[in-house]
Amino acid sequence: MASPVAHTFAGLWTFLLFAERTKIRLRDEWRRYAGHLCLLVFLANLADLDFISELLFHKNYHRGFSHSLLTAILAALALTWIWKIAGTFWSSILIYFVAYGSHLVIDFFTGMHLGWNHSSFGIPLFWPFSTRDFGSDLVLVYGVTHGSMSALFSLANLHAVCYDLFFFGIITGGLVLWRARYVLNN
Q: How far is the CB of 137 from Zn ion (least distance, A)?
A: 19
Q: How far is the CB of 155 from Zn ion (least distance, A)?
A: 21
What number of chain residues touch Zn ion (CB under 5 A)?
4
As a residue count, the chain comes to: 186
Closer by beta carbon to Zn ion, 1 or else 125? 1
| Binders of Zn ion in range 119-178 (CB under 5 A) | none
Closer by beta carbon to Zn ion, 1 or else 86? 1
| CA angle centred on 160, ends 155 and 166, rounded to 5° | 125
Q: How far is the CB of 18 from Zn ion (least distance, A)?
A: 22
| Binders of Zn ion in range 40-69 (CB under 5 A) | 47-48
Do 109 and 136 form a contact (C-beta atoms < 8 A)?
yes
Closer by beta carbon to Zn ion, 11 or else 19? 11
How far is 67 from 133, CA to CA, in rounded Å?
Answer: 10
Do 72 and 100 form a contact (C-beta atoms < 8 A)?
yes
Least Cα distance to 172 among 17, 4, 23, 1 occurs for 17
Q: How far is the CB of 30 from Zn ion (least distance, A)?
A: 28
Q: Select from 8-16, 107-115, 136-144, 175-183 the region that touches Zn ion (CB under 5 A).
A: 107-115
DSSP line for 128-164:
TT----B--SEE-EEPPP-SSHHHHTSHHHHHHHHHH
Closer by beta carbon to Zn ion, 84 or else 146? 146
DSSP state of 22: T
Using CB under 5 A as the binding rule, whether residue 1 contacts Zn ion is answered as yes
Binding site for Zn ion (CB under 5 A): 1, 47-48, 107
